[in-house]
Amino acid sequence: MVALAAGLAGPACRRIPPEPITFTDRAVVVENLTTDEWQNVEVWLNDHYRVTKSRMPPGERFSIPFSAFVAGFGQRFDAARQPIRGIEVAAAAPGGRAVKLVWGTGRRR
Protein backbone atom coordinates (compact mmCIF):
# COMPACT_ATOMS: atom_id res chain seq x y z
CA MET A 1 0.00 0.00 0.00
CA VAL A 2 2.82 2.43 0.86
CA ALA A 3 4.62 1.62 -2.42
CA LEU A 4 1.48 2.44 -4.39
CA ALA A 5 1.07 5.79 -2.62
CA ALA A 6 4.73 6.65 -3.23
CA GLY A 7 4.38 5.73 -6.90
CA LEU A 8 1.37 7.98 -7.34
CA ALA A 9 2.95 10.91 -5.55
CA GLY A 10 6.08 10.92 -7.73
CA PRO A 11 4.61 12.20 -11.03
CA ALA A 12 2.35 14.69 -9.26
CA CYS A 13 5.29 16.25 -7.43
CA ARG A 14 7.34 17.01 -10.55
CA ARG A 15 8.46 20.57 -10.75
CA ILE A 16 6.79 22.56 -13.52
CA PRO A 17 9.29 24.74 -15.40
CA PRO A 18 8.66 28.49 -15.09
CA GLU A 19 6.98 30.38 -17.92
CA PRO A 20 8.90 33.29 -19.50
CA ILE A 21 5.71 35.43 -19.77
CA THR A 22 3.33 35.65 -16.80
CA PHE A 23 0.85 38.14 -15.37
CA THR A 24 -0.06 39.72 -12.08
CA ASP A 25 -3.30 41.61 -11.61
CA ARG A 26 -1.63 44.85 -12.77
CA ALA A 27 1.44 43.88 -14.79
CA VAL A 28 3.08 41.69 -17.41
CA VAL A 29 6.17 39.88 -16.13
CA VAL A 30 8.87 38.79 -18.60
CA GLU A 31 11.71 36.62 -17.36
CA ASN A 32 14.92 35.83 -19.22
CA LEU A 33 15.16 32.09 -18.55
CA THR A 34 18.13 31.64 -20.90
CA THR A 35 21.86 31.87 -20.20
CA ASP A 36 22.24 34.73 -22.72
CA GLU A 37 21.88 38.45 -22.21
CA TRP A 38 19.16 39.98 -24.36
CA GLN A 39 19.70 43.36 -26.06
CA ASN A 40 17.13 45.81 -27.50
CA VAL A 41 14.17 44.13 -25.81
CA GLU A 42 10.68 45.07 -27.05
CA VAL A 43 7.55 43.84 -25.28
CA TRP A 44 4.40 44.22 -27.39
CA LEU A 45 0.89 44.03 -25.96
CA ASN A 46 -2.10 43.48 -28.31
CA ASP A 47 -0.15 44.31 -31.47
CA HIS A 48 0.43 48.01 -30.95
CA TYR A 49 1.25 48.84 -27.30
CA ARG A 50 4.97 48.62 -26.57
CA VAL A 51 7.59 48.91 -23.83
CA THR A 52 11.33 48.73 -24.50
CA LYS A 53 14.36 47.87 -22.39
CA SER A 54 17.96 48.14 -23.55
CA ARG A 55 19.13 44.86 -22.00
CA MET A 56 18.05 41.93 -19.85
CA PRO A 57 20.73 39.80 -18.21
CA PRO A 58 20.11 36.06 -17.73
CA GLY A 59 17.64 35.40 -14.92
CA GLU A 60 16.27 38.94 -14.79
CA ARG A 61 12.53 39.46 -14.21
CA PHE A 62 11.04 42.54 -15.85
CA SER A 63 7.68 43.54 -14.34
CA ILE A 64 5.82 46.01 -16.57
CA PRO A 65 2.69 47.75 -15.27
CA PHE A 66 -0.13 47.68 -17.85
CA SER A 67 -0.22 51.49 -17.72
CA ALA A 68 3.39 51.64 -19.02
CA PHE A 69 2.43 50.21 -22.43
CA VAL A 70 2.11 53.00 -25.00
CA ALA A 71 0.91 52.98 -28.63
CA GLY A 72 2.45 54.99 -31.47
CA PHE A 73 0.41 58.15 -30.85
CA GLY A 74 0.83 58.11 -27.07
CA GLN A 75 -2.32 56.19 -26.10
CA ARG A 76 -1.87 54.10 -22.96
CA PHE A 77 -3.22 50.59 -22.55
CA ASP A 78 -6.28 50.51 -20.27
CA ALA A 79 -6.67 47.03 -18.75
CA ALA A 80 -10.14 47.93 -17.42
CA ARG A 81 -11.44 48.54 -20.96
CA GLN A 82 -9.34 46.25 -23.16
CA PRO A 83 -8.75 42.49 -22.98
CA ILE A 84 -5.24 41.12 -23.27
CA ARG A 85 -5.11 39.09 -26.48
CA GLY A 86 -1.38 38.59 -26.84
CA ILE A 87 2.13 39.43 -25.74
CA GLU A 88 5.23 39.21 -27.90
CA VAL A 89 8.79 39.69 -26.68
CA ALA A 90 11.45 40.41 -29.31
CA ALA A 91 15.15 40.86 -28.56
CA ALA A 92 18.64 40.08 -29.82
CA ALA A 93 20.88 37.45 -28.22
CA PRO A 94 24.68 37.26 -28.62
CA GLY A 95 25.78 36.93 -32.22
CA GLY A 96 22.64 38.69 -33.42
CA ARG A 97 20.37 35.67 -32.89
CA ALA A 98 16.73 36.68 -32.64
CA VAL A 99 14.77 36.02 -29.46
CA LYS A 100 11.00 35.74 -29.85
CA LEU A 101 8.56 34.74 -27.12
CA VAL A 102 4.80 34.70 -27.70
CA TRP A 103 1.83 34.37 -25.36
CA GLY A 104 -1.63 34.35 -26.92
CA THR A 105 -1.94 35.74 -30.43
CA GLY A 106 1.37 37.59 -30.52
CA ARG A 107 1.87 40.47 -32.90
CA ARG A 108 0.56 40.80 -36.46
CA ARG A 109 2.87 42.28 -39.07
Does residue 9 form part of some domain? no
Question: Which distant-in-sequence residues (6+ apart) come within 8 Å of 99 by Cβ?
Answer: 34, 36, 38, 89, 90, 91, 92, 93
- Tell me the average pLDDT across 42-66: 97
Flag whether pLDDT at 25 surpasses 90.
Answer: no
pTM: 0.83
Residue 34, domain extent: 20-104
5 within a domain of the structure (yes/no): no
Is residue 45 situated within a structural domain? Answer: yes
Name the domain count of the chain: 1
Query: What is the structure's pLDDT at 77?
Result: 96
pLDDT at 4 (0 to 100): 46
CA-only gyration radius of the chain, Å: 18
Segment 38-61 mean pLDDT = 97
In a domain, 4, yes or no: no
Cβ count within 10 A of residue 36: 16
pLDDT over 50 (residue 88): yes
Q: What is the CATH number of the domain that holds 68?
A: 2.60.40.2890
- Could you count the other beta carbons within 10 Å of the beta carbon of residue 33? 14
Domain-located, residue 6: no
In a domain, 2, yes or no: no
